[in-house]
Structures are given as structure tokens and as C-alpha cells.
Amino acid sequence: MQDFIAHLNPFYVLCGVLIGGLTGFTGVGGGALMTPILILLFGVPSPVAVGTDLLYAAVTNSSGSVVHAVNRTIKWRIVGLLALGSVPMTGFSIALLYWLGADSNITHVLVTRVLGFALFVTAILLFARKPLMRWHERHLSFIEPRHVARATVATGAILGLLVTISSTGAGAIGVTALLLLYPNLPPRHVVGSGLAHAVPLTFLAGIGHSFLGTIDWGILTSLLCGSLPAIVVASIASARTSDTAVRVTLGIVLLVVVVKFWFL
């Protein structure tokens, strides 16, 4: 036990506490900061930051997915449709990264640009999800079921690409897309279905990155040791606390990070 503790990096543990707390408070979006922090603050190569964050997300999201499964707030048909698009695209994205070379400059540029785009969309959704939902309700309240199914598969494909290359998008982007596609579905079922899909998506993408050699297992262990208890505590506290300020602050931080990735 002492040897295990000795190998933990306190800075990564503290980072895990911070991100775990944000994730517990906001539900989505907090995890979007993990990869940027690893890259910008700790100097971790971008492909390694993405790969490590993918397995981190798979583990941290699993507990929430189990809770939703027990409460029967997961629509498995929606999960299946999402996976129909995301699984092939995840395989394609891993093959692309392998072909480009995990350590190549082209891969670094690709990861940072896609990450910047995913963070930008996530930040906008943190600010504008409610107005977007109101606009959707007024102008696009009904979509034919066959179009919904196709759009869900397409959403899964987009998430497979974004998440595998940048580790970001399964939360805010995925849930918002499902809210637009299934406006009559209770929000808790939308969140549960999105989370249930995010777990295998991030796990498969993370396994793919492990074959590329882009996972730092020491960093992953330290992050999880900080995050797992923080998520539990923050989730309990969030029931008594408004997360509006947290979401707005997080959105502003993500926009600053986007500027860093795109223009600096």
C-alpha cells in the first residue's frame, strides 16, 4: 500500500479532485477540462493526454451509468443507434491516428485542432442550451421517427470521431443532440442514455489508444485516486447547490482554452 501511495503524483491527484468536483457539480462539461489541463499545465503530449483522458472518462462515467441502469433511466434502443454510428467511426479514427503516427507533428496538430473545435462547441452549449431548446420547441417540435433514427446514428458517428481524436464531446454535445432529437423524452432518460453510450465509447477509444501507446498509466492512476471520491462528494452537494455559476465559469474557461489551441 505504501509503495502504491509513493507512486502517486500529488499534482495529478489534485487535478483529479478538481475535475471530479466539476463533473459532479455540472454533470457534463467538467471532464472537458482534463485533456487541456494535461496538455497546457503539465506539458503532456496531446495524443497521450487524449488517450489517458479517454480511459479516465470510461472509469468515472461507469458509476453514473450503473445508477441510471438500476433506476431504469436508460433507453437502450437509443444507445444502440448511437453505437451503430460511433463504433465504426472510433475504429476509423484509431486507424487514422495509427496511419499518421502517434508521435507525428500532423497528429499533434490534428488533435489540438479537433480538441479546440470540440471545446468551443461544448462552451457554447454550456451558455446556450436552454435558448437552443426553446428555439427547437418553437420551430422544430416534430421530426419523423425514421429521420430521428438516422440522425441518432449520425450523431453517434460524429461523437465517435470527436471523442476518439479529442476525448471531448460525449457529454455536453451528445446530451444536447439527444435533447433535440428526443424532446418528449424525460431529461433523466436522455442523460442516462447519453452516459450509457459514453462509457463503451470512451472505453473502446481508450483501448485503441493503448495499442497506439498513447496512455500514461501512472497519470491515469493518480487522476482516478483524486477524482472518484470528489465526484461522489460533489454529486451529493450539487443537489443543494445551483450549478449556473459553475457552468458559466466553466464555459468562459473553455473559450480561453480554445483561443490557446487555435491561435497561440
| pLDDT tens-digit series, residues 227-249 | 888 877 766 665 555 556 666 66
Q: What is the pLDDT of residue 71?
A: 81
Please, are residues 159 and 173 in contact by the beta-carbon 8 Å criterion? yes
- Give the number of domains in the chain: 1
Which of the residues in the chain have pLDDT under 70?
A: 1-7, 24-31, 129, 132-133, 135-144, 234-251, 253, 260-261, 263-264
In sequence order, the 6+-apart residues with CB closer than 8 A to the CB of 239 are: none
- Sole residue written with cell 466553466: 250
| pLDDT tens-digit series, residues 118-158 | 888 888 877 776 776 676 666 665 566 778 899 999 999 99
Q: How many Cα atoms within 13 Å fall on the side-chain side of residue 203?
A: 12
Sign of CA dihedral 54, 60, 66, 72: negative
- Structural domain range at position 105: 2-263
